Each structure stands twice: as C-alpha cells, then as structure tokens.
C-alpha cells in the first residue's frame, strides 16, 4: 500500500490506511516497553517541530516519537526568542526551513489550512499537529487506537463528543475518523457551540447530555477553549459545567463499561468536576501513551517508504 | 500454475509450466528440522541457557517446530522468541514498508545462547538486521544461526551454523519456503522465470 506524503486531514486516509497505521502502532507500543526504547529505522533523518501555538503533549509526543525512530529533532516555537517576533512571515519561515533540508515538518498553527499551505512550499513531509479549528489528525488516530485497544473494535460503538464542537479541531478530525471506521457518533453541547453545518456531518446531535449518557460506550469530553472564547457563547463557566460538565452524578448515568476520554489539557471544574476521582474509566493517560506510538508509526510509514513504486519482492 | 499458488508435489517434481521445482517436500522438511534439532542440542550440549528466536514471518513457525523436536529429544523445550526486523532493515526508505508482525521475547536474552531461525539465508542482510535487533534486548552469550535453506549469494560476511539444505541457485531464481502454518503445506520450491519465456 502506498502511504501518503503529507498528513493534513483525516480525509486523506482510507480505512485500509488507518488499519495499517493502527497495526503498526502495536509494534511501536512494544518498542516503548523495551529497555532500549529506540529503533534505527529513521536514523539520519531530521524532523522539525514547528509550533506557532502552545502545546505540551503534542509537541513532546512528536519529539519522543521521532527519537524512538532515531531521527534527529529540532524544535521551533514562535515566541520572543525566534525571528517571528521580528516579523518574519509564515512563508519566509517555511522557506528558511526548506533551505535547511528537513525530511519532515510537524506543524501547529492558529490558522486553518496552514499545514496545507506549508506542504505546498516545502519538499519535506508535513504532519498537521493542529491547524486552527480545522483538524488535528494525529489526535484522532491516537484516539482510534486507544478505543480499539480497550474495546477491541471501533465499528458499532456509540461515541458521544461533548462540548465546544465549533472551535474544536479535535472534534472535526475525530468525527471524520470515527464515522469512517463505523462508529456511531453523537455530538452534544450548547447550540451556540455546535457548528451550523453539523447536520451534514453524519452524526446525531443532542443538547441533552443526561438523556444521551446512558447509551454511550465512550464519553469524549472536549476542552472548553477559553482562548477562542472571544464572543460569549455561554453565560459562564459555572453554567457550562452545570449543563455539560461530567460530575459524579452523571458518571452514575453511564454504562458500567463506558469510558471517558479527553484530548487534554483538562480544565478541572469545567468539563470535568474538580472532585471527580482519578477513576479507572478515565483513560487520558492511555491516550497520551498511545500518542507516541501512533506518531512513531505514522512517521515510519510516511518517511520509511519510498515515494517510488515498490520494487519487486526479494526474499 | 500461477506463481503464487503452492505446488504440492513430491520432491524432484516440477509443475506443468516447468518453471517451479519442488526441492524439499513435507517429509524432507520434517527430516531436515529433526536433524537441525539434533545438531542444535549437540552443539549446545543440551538445552541449558538455550533459546530460539524465529525471524518473521516464516522463521517463527520453523522456530516453534525446532523447539518441539528438541523437546522430543531432551524432554525440555527451549523458549521461543519472535522477532520482526522491519525497523532494523538497511533498505528503510528504499522499499515500501511492509506490514509489521509482533516482536515478543518472553525471556531475557542476556547470557543466553540464542539460535536465530529463518527460512532462507540469501544476502545476509536480514541476519544483520536481526542481530542488531537482538542486541537491543540484551547481551547474549552466543548467537548462532539456523536456516532451512541456504541459497548462497551473500552480500555480507555471514554463514549459518545449522542448515536444512544447501540449494545452489542463480540470482534470477526465487526460493520460496512454504510452511503448514501459513501456506497449508510444507515445501521448498525454486521458481525460475526464464523457463517461461513470456517475460512474466
């Protein structure tokens, strides 16, 4: 199977490709349990983390994934220490990186479509690590992997995505990925935070969390994006947590085997109650652990293959 | 016969196209594995500190079978590990990535006598990758190599310690080992594209 050169959107991936990524992830999960958590597959390649927006887990996860493959990693964050603060444009920054001869660029940017633009300017493979409110494909893939690890399947599961769907690239990529793999998705949130086009996304829509909770296999909580709340989409954080936050009473409504996921970072006391104990079914740590293996699998498949048609099989 | 079908003929038989020769049939494979099992325990003087590591894909079932034969001789079966060498290949970036099989070492290789088991020894590049992978798991006391078929044409300086059958081949030819577990039949077949003459 030919792998894609750039990963910009879940739309690029066929179900076969997703299966291959998830299968390859198993092997990197195993590498992560070894004493020497490193394989030489991408020795001599250089991966650049290009981050125009704050990130903890995604950046560290990509960095660890590249290092597990023995690639060299350089990191660029657009802050006061770089030329972006001197007014260098995105394109000029890209051309600078192009001149440095990189093999892959992991990009996070505040604007939707920025990863695609970057892929048009550089020869390196571009991996979208979040472009504005558009997509975050590696998050969706690590979520699929985590779900499959726990349930043994994705097809037929009922997944509720709760909260600010409008501003969430995580929700966009996840809805595409989950429905592609045969899951039943219901988005739940205040009407002001559900996109107007949500009806055409192949998902069910609800504004009543208590009514949907008992039916769900997975409750996927989205982060309330305080930094994107320029307009008042809901009256207060307290009201949000009252209607859409997960507390002990609501956990009691869930199926006993249902699990809770969150892309992080968590706003304690907003989308999940501050006093909710660290329960067995809250599998955020699995998501983080699997994130490294999924990203390693992706980089291995994208950079480890030839862009030429495969040569004839040799024993 | 299509090149991907598995001929089930006695050794020495060729298929109707004259393009494939069965070099070892199921009984030959069995005899070869029994002999290799004897040679391994003889050289190791028993099963003490002995482990087998099968290289995916066909080395894995062969390793399990050799372990079973050893158990028949010595009453103790050596532990068997399974190794996928994809991440250690020297042609990453040249050939398209293949599906990866699970690597599983249910033991610590440090201070063990490790016998790597594979189906065909050809260029030696797989062995190089396997040894690199192996030493990431620990420091074996000794590493040996067992192969069902040695077909020659080494590109790296390796030789096998235990060989089922030496089959001199031309580089044009292809040697395929079929095993019951994945192919439904035990056989070693040599394919030669030249005899067909249609440029297949």
- Answer yes or no: do A131 and A163 share one domain: no
Give me the residues of B, 78-137, that contact A with CB < 8 A: 84, 86-89, 92-97, 99-104, 120, 122, 132-133, 136-137
Q: Collapse the DSSP code of A197 into the 3-class scheme (helix H, G, I; strand E, B; otherwise coil) and give the result.
A: helix
Q: Is residue A80 part of a domain?
A: yes
CB A79 within 8 Å of CB A100: no
Which residues of chain B neighbour A31 with C-beta distances below 8 Å? Answer: 87
Is the Cβ of B3 closer than 8 Å to some Cβ of chain A? Answer: no
Q: Is residue B2 part of a domain?
A: no
**Res. A264: pLDDT tops 70:** yes
| Mean pLDDT score, B147-155 | 97
Q: Is residue B176 part of a domain?
A: no
Inspect the interface and report whether the beta carbons of A39 and B176 lie closer than 8 Å.
no
A311: confidence class by pLDDT, cuts 50, 70, 90 = very low
Inspect the interface and report whether the beta carbons of A306 and B175 lie closer than 8 Å.
no
Residues 6+ apart with CB under 8 A from B122: A315, B151, B152, B153, B154, B175
pLDDT per residue over B180-195, tens digit each?
A: 999 999 999 999 887 6
- Answer yes or no: do A94 and A182 share one domain: no
Residue A139, min C-alpha distance to chain B (Å): 22
A and B: number of Cβ contacts within 8 A: 68
Q: Is residue A313 part of a domain?
A: no
∠ CA A248-A250-A255, nearest 5°, is 105
Which of B84, B87, B95 is facing A40, going by the closest CB pair? Answer: B87
> CA-to-CA distance for A32 and A38, rounded, in angstroms?
8
Give me the residues of A, 66-125, that contact B with CB < 8 A: 69
Q: Is residue A57 part of a domain?
A: yes
CATH number of domain containing A104: 3.40.50.1370
Angle (deg, nearest 10), helices A57-68 and A137-151: 80
- Answer yes or no: do A148 and A271 share one domain: yes
Q: Is residue A81 part of a domain?
A: yes
Q: Is residue A161 part of a domain?
A: yes
- Answer yes or no: do A85 and A202 share one domain: no
Angle (deg, nearest 10), helices A15-31 and A169-180: 110
Q: Is residue A156 part of a domain?
A: yes
**Res. A258: pLDDT tops 80:** yes
**Res. B33: pLDDT tops 60:** yes
Which residues of chain B neighbour A38 with C-beta distances below 8 Å? Answer: 136
pLDDT per residue over A168-180, tens digit each?
A: 999 999 999 999 9
Q: Is residue A311 part of a domain?
A: no
Q: Containing domain of residue A263, as a range? A: 137-283
A215: confidence class by pLDDT, cuts 50, 70, 90 = very high
Inspect the interface and report whether the beta carbons of A30 and B136 lie closer than 8 Å.
no
Q: Answer whether the bond into residue B57 is a cis peptide, omega within 30°.
A: yes
Which residues of chain B neighbour A20 with C-beta distances below 8 Å? Answer: 99
Inspect the interface and report whether the beta carbons of B175 and A310 lie closer than 8 Å.
no
- Answer yes or no: do A160 and A268 share one domain: yes
Which residues of chain B neighbour A306 with C-beta distances below 8 Å? Answer: 93-96
| CA atoms within 13 A of residue B87's CA, in its CB half-sphere | 28
**ipTM of model:** 0.85
Inspect the interface and report whether the beta carbons of B102 and A311 lie closer than 8 Å.
no
Which of B84, B93, B138 is facing A27, going by the closest CB pair? Answer: B84
Q: Is residue B198 part of a domain?
A: no
Residue of B nearest to A309 (CA): B96
Residue A306, min C-alpha distance to chain B (Å): 5
| Mean pLDDT score, A56-73 | 96
Q: Quick one: tokens of A127?
A: 């991996």
Q: Is residue B174 part of a domain?
A: no
Q: Containing domain of residue B44, as a range? A: 24-88+106-169
Q: Quick one: tokens of A256?
A: 């006993």
Is the Cβ of A303 closer than 8 Å to some Cβ of chain B? Answer: yes
- Answer yes or no: do A158 and A226 share one domain: yes
pLDDT per residue over A75-94, tens digit each?
A: 988 876 777 777 888 999 99
For residue A314, the model assigns a pLDDT of: 43
pLDDT per residue over A44-54, tens digit each?
A: 999 999 999 98
Inspect the interface and report whether the beta carbons of A27 and B122 lie closer than 8 Å.
no
Which residues of chain B neighbour A310 with C-beta distances below 8 Å? Answer: 95-96
Residue B52, min C-alpha distance to chain A (Å): 19
Residue B29, min C-alpha distance to chain A (Å): 19
Which residues of chain A neighbour B122 with C-beta distances below 8 Å? Answer: 315
pLDDT per residue over A224-238, tens digit each?
A: 987 766 567 888 888
CATH number of domain containing B37: 3.40.50.2020
How many domains, in total, are found in chain A? 2
**Res. B95: pLDDT tops 50:** yes
Task: Tell me the percentage of chain A whose pLDDT exceeds 90.
Answer: 80
Inspect the interface and report whether the beta carbons of A40 and B99 lie closer than 8 Å.
no
Inspect the interface and report whether the beta carbons of A23 and B99 lie closer than 8 Å.
yes
Classify burial at B113, counting beta carbons within 10 Å of its beta carbon; exposed 0-12, middle 13-18, buried 19 or more: buried
Q: For residue A159, what is the enclosing H or E element?
A: strand A158-162
Q: Is residue B37 part of a domain?
A: yes
Q: Is residue B114 part of a domain?
A: yes
Residue of A nearest to B133 (CA): A39
For residue B4, the model assigns a pLDDT of: 52
Give me the residues of B, 41-70, that contact A with CB < 8 A: none
In this structure, the dihedral spanned by the alpha carbons of residues A54, A56, A61 and A67, taken in order and rounded to 10 degrees, is 80
Classify burial at B140, counting beta carbons within 10 Å of its beta carbon; exposed 0-12, middle 13-18, buried 19 or more: buried
> CA-to-CA distance for B22 and B134, rounded, in angstroms?
33
- Answer yes or no: do A234 and A200 share one domain: yes
- Answer yes or no: do A124 and A195 share one domain: no
Q: Is residue B65 part of a domain?
A: yes
Residues 6+ apart with CB under 8 A from A63: A49, A73, A75
Inspect the interface and report whether the beta carbons of A2 and B86 lie closer than 8 Å.
no
Give me the residues of A, 38-67, that contact B with CB < 8 A: 38-42
Residue A46, min C-alpha distance to chain B (Å): 14
Which of A24, A26, A310 is facing B96, going by the closest CB pair? Answer: A310
Which of B23, B57, B90, B92 best probes binding to A when mutated, by most A CB atoms within 10 angstroms?
B92
B2: confidence class by pLDDT, cuts 50, 70, 90 = very low
How many domains, in total, are found in chain B? 1
Task: Tell me the average pLDDT of chain A.
Answer: 92
- Answer yes or no: do A157 and A120 share one domain: no
- Answer yes or no: do A109 and A197 share one domain: no
Maximum mean pLDDT: which of A271-280, B92-101, B181-190: B181-190
A213: confidence class by pLDDT, cuts 50, 70, 90 = very high
- Looking at A115-129, B9-23, B109-123, which range is the least confident one? B9-23
Q: Is residue A129 part of a domain?
A: yes
């Amino acid at each position: 199977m030919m792998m894609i050169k750039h990963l910009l959107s879940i739309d690029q991936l066929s179900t076969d490709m997703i299966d291959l990524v998830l299968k390859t992830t198993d092997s990197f999960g195993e590498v992560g349990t070894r004493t020497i958590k490193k394989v030489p597959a991408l020795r001599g390649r250089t991966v650049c983390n290009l981050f125009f927006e704050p990130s903890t887990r995604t950046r560290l996860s990509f960095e660890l994934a590249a290092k597990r493959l023995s690639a060299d990693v350089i990191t660029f964050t657009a802050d006061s220490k770089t030329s972006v603060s001197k007014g260098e444009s995105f394109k000029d920054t890209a051309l600078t990186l192009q001149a440095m001869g990189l093999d892959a660029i992991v990009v996070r940017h505040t604007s939707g479509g920025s990863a695609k633009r970057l892929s048009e300017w550089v020869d390196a493979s571009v991996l979208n690590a979040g472009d504005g409110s558009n997509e975050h494909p590696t998050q969706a893939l690590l979520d699929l992997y985590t779900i499959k690890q726990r349930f043994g399947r994705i097809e037929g599961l009922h997944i509720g995505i709760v909260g600010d769907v409008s501003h969430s690239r995580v929700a966009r990529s996840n809805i595409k990925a989950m429905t592609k793999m045969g899951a039943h998705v219901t988005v739940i949130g205040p009407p002001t935070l559900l996109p107007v086009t949500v009806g055409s996304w192949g998902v069910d829509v609800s504004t009543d969390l208590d009514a949907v909770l008992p039916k769900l296999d997975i409750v996927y909580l989205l982060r309330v994006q305080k930094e994107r709340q320029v307009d008042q989409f809901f009256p207060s954080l307290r009201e949000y947590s009252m209607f859409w936050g997960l507390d002990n009473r609501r956990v009691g409504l869930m199926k006993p085997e249902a699990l809770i996921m969150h892309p992080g970072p968590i706003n304690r006391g907003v989308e999940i109650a501050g006093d909710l104990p660290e329960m067995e079914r809250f599998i955020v740590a699995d998501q983080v652990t699997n994130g490294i293996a999924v990203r390693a699998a992706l980089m291995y498949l994208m950079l480890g293959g030839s862009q030429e048609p495969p040569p004839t099989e040799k024993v | 016969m299509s090149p991907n079908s598995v001929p089930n003929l006695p050794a020495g038989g060729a298929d109707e196209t004259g393009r494939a020769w069965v070099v070892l049939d199921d009984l030959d494979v069995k005899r070869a594995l029994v002999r290799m099992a004897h040679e391994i325990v003889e050289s190791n003087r028993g099963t003490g500190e002995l482990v087998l590591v099968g290289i995916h894909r066909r080395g894995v079932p062969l390793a399990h079978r050799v372990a079973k034969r050893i158990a028949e001789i010595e009453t103790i079966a050596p532990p068997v590990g399974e190794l996928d060498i994809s991440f250690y290949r020297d042609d990453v970036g040249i050939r398209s990535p293949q599906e990866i099989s699970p690597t599983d070492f249910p033991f610590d290789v440090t201070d063990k006598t490790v016998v790597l088991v594979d189906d065909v020894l050809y260029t030696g590049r797989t062995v190089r990758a396997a040894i690199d992978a192996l030493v990431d798991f620990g420091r074996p006391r000794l590493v040996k190599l067992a192969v069902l078929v040695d077909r020659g044409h080494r590109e790296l300086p390796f030789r096998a310690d235990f060989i089922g059958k030496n089959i001199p081949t031309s580089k044009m030819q292809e040697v395929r080992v079929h095993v019951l577990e994945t192919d439904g039949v035990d056989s070693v077949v040599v394919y030669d594209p030249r005899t067909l003459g249609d440029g297949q």
